[in-house]
């Protein structure tokens, strides 16, 4: 028994080391493949710049105050979209999941609209809010609303009915029931919906900035592309990737800390 307990940690450690070695080998292979494609001449010159050129562009980008301004514009758009769309989505999900008649009447329409690509509504928001950040916040808020609403509604239906009966036995008001019973039990589905809504908000804001904007990270991507500064394009994409990974890691940490 003692030997078995000693063997398991050793095997687990070897498996972890092998996984890390595979990750490093995969990264080296991807970099080597990238450099090989760039040097092969199969693509137009500059479309696949060297990794060193991309790193140099990334350093220049991070030292440029204009980049931080554009990053703050996109960050504010995403944050406000999450706050508005996510907050309304949680409220709607509580109503859909907590009131049976309301859920049966409204949720089929919510499911139908959730499957529709929200970016097709962008011309409507352009007319309503103009070409500035307001239209990006509005379309991203709509996109955030649906995963939050549907996730909260599904979670509400699976709350332990004993908790609800206990709350009612203490004559809690609706606000108290939401604060003391529903929301604590809905942290996991709300966090899952928030993770999806975060990705959707970033994608929608970037697409809107690429098409109709003169500021923001999406505008920087399309502006660099139009000027054939492909190394700058990849540098901005690296920043977007790192920010997205960091934001998802933060949401996951919050979910674990609940």
Query: Each residue's pLDDT tens digit in the chain (258 positions)?
Result: 445 554 555 555 666 566 677 778 887 877 777 777 767 766 666 677 878 888 888 899 899 999 999 999 999 999 999 999 999 999 898 888 877 788 788 888 888 888 888 888 888 888 888 888 888 999 999 999 999 998 888 888 888 888 878 888 888 787 888 788 887 888 888 888 888 898 899 989 998 888 888 888 989 999 888 888 888 888 999 998 888 888 888 888 877 766
pTM of the model: 0.80
Nearest in space to 230 (alpha carbons), one of 218, 240, 222: 222
CB 69 within 8 A of CB 125: no
What secondary structure does DSSP assign to 73-119, as a single string?
Answer: HHHHHHHHHIIIIIHHHHHHHHHHHH-HHHHHHHHHHHHHHHTS-GG
In terms of Cβ atoms closer than 10 Å to its own Cβ (0-12, 13-18, 19+), residue 130 is: exposed
Q: Where are the domains of the chain?
A: 2-48, 58-256
CATH architecture of the region 58-256: Orthogonal Bundle (1.10)
Q: Between the CA of residue 212 and those of 76, 237, 258, what are the distances in Å? A: 17, 19, 39
């Amino acid at each position: 028994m003692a030997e078995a307990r000693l063997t398991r940690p050793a095997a687990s450690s070897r498996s972890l080391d092998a996984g890390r070695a595979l990750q490093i080998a995969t990264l080296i292979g991807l970099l080597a493949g990238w450099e090989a494609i760039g040097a092969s001449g199969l693509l137009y010159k500059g479309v696949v710049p060297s990794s060193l050129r991309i790193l140099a562009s990334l350093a220049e980008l991070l030292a440029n105050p204009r980049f931080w301004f554009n990053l703050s514009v996109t960050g504010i758009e995403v944050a406000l979209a999450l706050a508005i769309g996510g907050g309304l989505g949680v409220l709607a999900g509580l109503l859909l999941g907590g009131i049976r008649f309301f859920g049966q009447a409204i949720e089929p329409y919510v499911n139908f609209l959730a499957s529709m690509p929200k970016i097709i509504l962008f011309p409507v928001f352009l007319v309503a809010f103009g070409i500035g950040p307001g239209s990006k916040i509005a379309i991203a808020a709509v996109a955030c609303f649906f995963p939050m609403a549907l996730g909260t509604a599904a979670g509400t239906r699976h709350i332990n009915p004993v908790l609800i009966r206990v709350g009612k036995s203490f004559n809690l008001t609706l606000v108290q029931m939401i604060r003391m019973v529903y929301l604590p039990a809905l942290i996991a589905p709300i966090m899952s919906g928030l993770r999806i809504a975060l990705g959707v908000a970033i994608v929608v804001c970037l697409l809107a900035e690429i098409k109709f904007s003169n500021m923001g990270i999406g505008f920087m991507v399309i502006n660099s592309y139009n000027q054939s500064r492909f190394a700058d394009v990849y540098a901005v994409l690296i920043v977007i990737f790192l920010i997205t990974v960091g934001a998802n890691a933060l949401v996951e940490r919050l979910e674990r800390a609940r």
